[in-house]
């Protein structure tokens, strides 16, 4: 397969057909480095030498009503995840300010557990934090608050929200295998409502849940149709006592690199991030995620698990000769 030719076509706006994408994602181990080097041609064209760093705060943890199979914060699973109510706006702002100062983050996301924000006081508290972040930092403002309606989105945008993070998690054809307490359409509607209100969209998935390679492609093409600005790739980090952990089958580092590369081919202009699970899945090949197609990663800790230390991430970026892109 001529990977370079496909990369050059992608740069010109012609993404791989489904048949071509199937060939790409089924690349053999011995040809994987040829694949990722071609994906690197695409990333250099659209993203240059820059990477973006996202940071998050787990602003409300645990007791989630939803039964997502991978989630430590679901009330359906008995895990050791912390449980606490929504942080105050100052606590959220302080976390954002620290991420910018100490970790060189360029985007900050406020994340809450639960299907949605049902309490007006909580929405007001989050809005106040966004307003402070907008006016007192240079960070891009993002939230991950579950399923939202248009009025909630409008209110948050008026406070200074720029981007909504709302993962589809997996392909529509596989979704019922990981969650039955809400529908795929509810997730899609939240994304569409946010787009209609002029927000940027960050949406991707979590991989290693038992989905097929074709279903990984199905999600990629769905994100393509939605014209998302950013597509985060998470690899399952199995949490004890969650359903996903019981059926866990680890992805090899080369399989993860192929996944990243194929997403770069299908979403040539989008930001592609590699977030949760990268340390466990990529192991010593972590730096290659930036060669294979990623231009974003999450710095600092995740929601309920520890991440690689910020200093290691910053050194990794420096060693690759990459620069941290500032938020405009």
Residues in binding site for [4Fe-4S] cluster: 64, 68, 71
The pair of three-digit structure tokens given for residue 258, joined into one six-digit string: 């192929």
Do the strands 205-207 and 230-235 form a parallel or antiparallel pair, or are they unpaired? parallel
CA atoms within 13 A on the CB side of 294: 26
State the Cα–Cα distance between residues 181 and 101, nearest whole angstrom: 39
Nearest CA to 42 out of 79, 7, 78, 74 is that of 7
Residue ranges for the known binding site for [2Fe-2S] cluster are: 109, 142, 202
State the Cα–Cα distance between residues 97 and 70, nearest whole angstrom: 30
The owner of tokens 């309920």 is: 304
State the Cα–Cα distance between residues 190 and 254, nearest whole angstrom: 33
Residue ranges for the known binding site are: 64, 68, 71, 109, 142, 202
Q: How many CB atoms lie within 10 A of CB 256?
A: 27
Contact 275, 232 (CB under 8 A): yes
């Amino acid at each position: 397969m001529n990977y370079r030719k496909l990369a050059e076509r992608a740069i010109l706006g012609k993404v791989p057909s489904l048949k071509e994408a199937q060939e790409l994602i089924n690349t053999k181990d011995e040809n994987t480095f040829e694949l990722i080097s071609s994906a690197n041609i695409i990333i250099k064209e659209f993203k240059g030498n820059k990477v973006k760093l996202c940071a998050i705060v787990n602003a409300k943890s645990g007791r989630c009503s939803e039964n997502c199979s991978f989630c430590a914060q679901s009330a359906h699973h008995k895990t050791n995840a912390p449980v606490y109510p929504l942080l105050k706006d100052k606590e959220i702002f302080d976390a954002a300010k620290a991420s910018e100062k100490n970790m060189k983050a360029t985007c900050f996301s406020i994340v809450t557990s639960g299907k949605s924000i049902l309490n007006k006081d909580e929405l007001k508290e989050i809005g106040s934090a966004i307003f402070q972040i907008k006016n007192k930092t240079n960070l891009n403002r993002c939230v991950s608050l579950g399923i939202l309606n248009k009025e909630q989105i409008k209110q948050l945008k008026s406070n200074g929200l720029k981007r909504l993070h709302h993962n589809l998690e997996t392909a529509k054809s596989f979704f019922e295998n990981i969650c039955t307490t809400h529908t795929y359409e509810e997730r899609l509607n939240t994304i569409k409502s946010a787009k209609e209100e002029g927000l940027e969209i960050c949406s991707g998935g979590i991989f290693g849940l038992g989905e097929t390679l074709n279903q990984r492609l199905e999600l990629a093409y769905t994100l393509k149709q939605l014209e998302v600005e950013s597509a985060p790739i998470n690899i399952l980090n199995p949490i004890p006592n969650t359903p996903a952990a019981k059926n866990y089958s680890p992805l090899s580092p080369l399989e993860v690199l192929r996944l990243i590369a194929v997403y770069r081919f299908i979403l040539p202009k989008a930001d592609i991030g590699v977030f949760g699970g990268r340390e466990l899945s990529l192991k010593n090949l972590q730096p290659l995620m930036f060669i294979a197609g990623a231009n974003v990663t999450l710095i600092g800790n995740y929601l309920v698990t520890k991440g690689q230390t910020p200093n290691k991430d910053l050194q990794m970026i420096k060693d690759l000769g990459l620069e941290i892109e500032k938020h405009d």
